Structure 1
């Protein structure tokens, strides 16, 4: 899809759920809202407020039952995906929308939900570095990259990759010039104070502490995914 020849607004749906990581959602949202001629939907099973994993509260504006057919389906990640990996209604909504959408996309561990819904079978995709092995468990060719584009599947890495992801979507839909304009508007010119934003560059002791701190949570998620896999066999 490109902006050329499109007269109707592009419908973009962002999945929200309790325990979502807010920057997974708000980074791409900041970019999406600068697109021309779009309808943007914040989707959940109800219009009740949703609390992020770090305590911010958001309000969906469209229920699953009211959602139109989407041109672009976007799933952020966060600790809250654990519950959604076994939420049949949530996964069925993803599957139904994803099978007809022009683009199926995610940031961070949102790709695990896409995979659980069967939407990444036969595709290359990425996720947060701590969960790449879990993505592989779900039968996906996991790639350790910031952004992975495989046909109409576009996935971003962990948390801060959401801005890069949003700009990649802008280029895909409307061309690189608009994407560059948006990047300049939001002054996205990253200059991180430390070279520790990747397991490949972080000091060994920092990497070990982060892995140790996340071990129990990751093991719980692995067990959930094992149940998901067993349920499909």
Structure 2
């Protein structure tokens, strides 16, 4: 993974009250970023995470993205987790991993500019320029710093629902609204 693809959104999301951000990889422990210099720590292995409100898939250099797209366990996990998320998101070339999981066919999405044609021709995504693109429950960010913008947007989306639910309960205690930013984890 590219460090900023993961760390930028992490820095936003980990500061959200009531959110629990969990890092996930094939195995628990240190994972080297695509430069080979920086190591980030995976809190959980893929098989340990079966649901999340938010799934964020960071991009990587060519070798890392190709390896992830060809890894059946990773792609199956992304596909299965997506069924249970409120939001499935990606940063930069992480969109290609969503595409490999079959999540972008016919879906407006963005990615790293040099991956645009590949995303369209290989996965049937509808390339849409922008820092981030929201299409249903899928949000894709164009590049590393755009991932931070996407995370800020995600916080707004989640807190609008949370605030609405709290105000509704205050106004009409018999009614409740579930929150997309509950105490469940963000993978």
Q: TM range, normalised to the smaller chain?
A: 0.7 to 0.9
Pairing 1:39–2:14 present: no
TM (norm. structure 2) is 0.80
Q: Which structure 1 residue ranges, 5 or more long, are not aligned?
A: 1-19, 179-233
Match of 2:80 in 1: 96
How far 1:34 moved relative to its partner?
1.3
Q: 1:145 aligns with which of 117, 130, 133?
A: 130
Considering only aligned residues, what root-mean-square deviation do their CA atoms show, in Å?
Answer: 1.6
- Find the aligned partners of 1:88 and 1:44 in 2 and give their Cα distance: 14
Q: Which structure 2 residue ranges, 5 or more long, are not aligned?
A: 164-187
- Find the aligned partners of 2:103 and 2:53 in 1 and give their Cα distance: 15
1:177-224 Cα shifts (integer Å, max 9, x gaps): x9xxxxxxxxxxxxxxxxxxxxxxxxxxxxxxxxxxxxxxxxxxxxxx
Q: 2:51 aligns with which of 69, 72, 91?
A: 69
Match of 1:160 in 2: 145
How far 1:94 moved relative to its partner?
0.4
How far 1:48 moved relative to its partner?
3.3
Match of 1:106 in 2: 90
The equivalences for 1:168-183 within 5 A come to 168-175=153-160
The equivalences for 1:213-228 within 5 A come to none
Match of 2:42 in 1: 60
Question: CA contact under 8 A between 2:29 and 2:43: conserved in structure 1?
Answer: no
Using CA pairs below 8 Å that are at least 6 residues apart, which structure has the higher relative contact order? 2
SS of aligned partner of 1:101: coil
Q: 1:134 aligns with which of 101, 113, 118?
A: 118
- Find the aligned partners of 1:65 and 1:151 in 2 and give their Cα distance: 26
TM (norm. structure 1) is 0.65
Pairing 1:78–2:60 present: yes
- Find the aligned partners of 1:130 and 1:68 in 2 and give their Cα distance: 32
Higher-Rg structure is: 1
How far 1:121 moved relative to its partner?
2.2
Q: Give 4+ residue runs of structure 1 displaced > 3 Å after superposition.
A: none
